[in-house]
Chain A
């Protein structure tokens, strides 16, 4: 077995665009669930809106790349408002049901033939990179060391993604130590108590839903930056990967989602490399293809174990957050 290749491939995931994109979206989920107590199971929908908003504005409307990002954020804002107005007055579990359905609706709308002109239906979108790469300040060439050797465009995606992640984390950090965050944490626990103190609970929940949704869209944009937009990516399992990441790191923490994403994707990449090799070497009694899927079973088991034994995640304070009140 080639351990060198395994470790090399795994190390690359430390700063892969996927890892960064998931981290950004997971921070959005932390705003929803960790701080606001909103059970959003539709993060895939927000990410899809970000990615498609970016790609369609560039391909169909010829907007510059940065305007595409703004369009993606606006799309997520509108989506959050549509979701929130009917459901935020209800109990939290209804939001969960509505969001999981709404995210599927979004995905199916992007997949359907009806909007083929804009979405290219099931084939997805690509070839929108010119603008973003044109803004790349890094001169042409390959840089880096060890396992982290990338071209200027690959670096530009990673650096841009990390910048967005930094801004998003900074915003959450500032918000959650402010009185605004205090109100939100109060709502998480008992909205009637907060209402009785004269706070407009609905407005706070809506702000939280929109903000987290916009972060989700930014995650979708970063996810789409290096490659293509494929509707099959934005399925419900994407949402549950994000939940695993969030709970792994700690739902009500600032850096939890970031570290959670890194750990999640490094382990996923490691298993993706190791398991097929083990199968090929006849150490595991399964076929190569089966081995590639086994890692998803590990995700499920990991989610279960976290929820049962460490509900506060790696960084969380057990006193501050458990799933059940």
Chain B
């Protein structure tokens, strides 16, 4: 994945988003979402326990954290798909606690899902048209009289084709969405979300399972959203992607916000390296699991994120990185011993 490191010019980052010292829960100059004391427990487990969080407007905010950190749960809470045990939050100054998911979406806060929810049994164009807001033809009685909604339908169709063209899906408009590839479905889901002219777009792992080439185009689309005046909040695992496009990074671990700030600062935060990247970020997996000894024995020391990214970039440029060469022989040995174990 590291080879997908974008070669294009670095995007323009929004800065000066916060007021006061950078710390978890820092106030923003112009927050679009303000969450207070939001908790959600599953049995005895506190999946989300966010004391205070503000999401800056017209910026790209990344929500990162290890698996089980509560990112998706927080997403579900903010979008009304799940109900918190305590806490309240507002969107655009309007309190959203207790507001059902469809109302949240109507207010301009649309989301996508980690497991893509393109409606496979509708055509791509129908998927798109479904995204448009306040359609007269979607009310039961007017829908019986096509002359009432035909004009609006045509307008929606034009808009849909325009967005599809931007996402290079226009040639697929009449195909069932089920016939699209996984990456195209991600694109379709994002395009569909745009049909409602959202204020805030929330993307749950938009890059998961997408090949490097498509990742590039997805990144461009996310950056596009910002230039069009939208706010983006997204969950992602790939740190390079995050540091490339995010203006602000919020790090969660065990349900809490452990750190936040601009990407370059956050990634130097020892708390983040510990919680998310892990102390073994640059160690071969075989060493971590104890299958064989470390190649040079010095890799387990803690590194700053800057070093890590620098090394990662260097690695990406090499055809065959040193580390892998060194690990080759023990890896082969490990494989053969595994075969024996299987017998």
Contacts and interface: CB of A to CB of B under 8 A. Distances in A.
Interface string A171-214: 10011011111110110111011111111110000010001000
Contacts of B106: 198
A134 to B, nearest CB: 32
A178 B144 contact: yes
Contact of A195 (B81, B138, B139, B146): B81
Interface in B80-139: 81, 100-103, 105-106, 110-113, 117-122, 126, 129-131, 133, 135, 137-139
Contact of A174 (B126, B146, B195): B146
Interface in B172-227: 176, 178, 192-193, 195-196
Contact of B130 (A186, A188, A320): A186
A178 B120 contact: no
B143 interface: yes
A91 interface: no
Contacts of B113: 192-193, 196
Given A180-B139, A183-B130, A196-B113, A201 B122 contact: no
Contacts of B100: 200
Nearest to B196: A198
A200 B102 contact: yes
B140 interface: yes
A321 interface: yes
Contact of B138 (A185, A199, A319): A199
A221 to B, nearest CB: 22
B122 A182 contact: yes
B167 interface: no
Contacts of B149: 178-179
25 contacts: A174-B143, A175-B143, A175-B144, A178-B138, A179-B149, A180-B140, A182-B122, A185-B119, A188-B121, A189-B122, A193-B113, A193-B117, A193-B119, A194-B130, A195-B102, A196-B112, A196-B193, A197-B105, A197-B193, A199-B130, A199-B138, A200-B100, A200-B102, A319-B178, A320-B176
Interface of B: 79, 81, 100-103, 105-106, 110-113, 117-122, 126, 129-131, 133, 135, 137-140, 143-146, 149, 153, 176, 178, 192-193, 195-196
Given A179-B143, A185-B126, 19 more contacts: A174-B143, A175-B143, A178-B146, A179-B137, A179-B138, A179-B149, A180-B140, A183-B130, A183-B138, A189-B122, A193-B119, A196-B112, A197-B130, A197-B131, A197-B195, A198-B105, A198-B110, A198-B196, A201-B102
Interface of A: 171, 174-175, 177-183, 185-186, 188-190, 192-201, 207, 211, 319-321
Which 4 A-B pairs have CB atoms at the shortest separation, nearest pair first? Answer: A198-B105, A179-B137, A193-B117, A180-B143
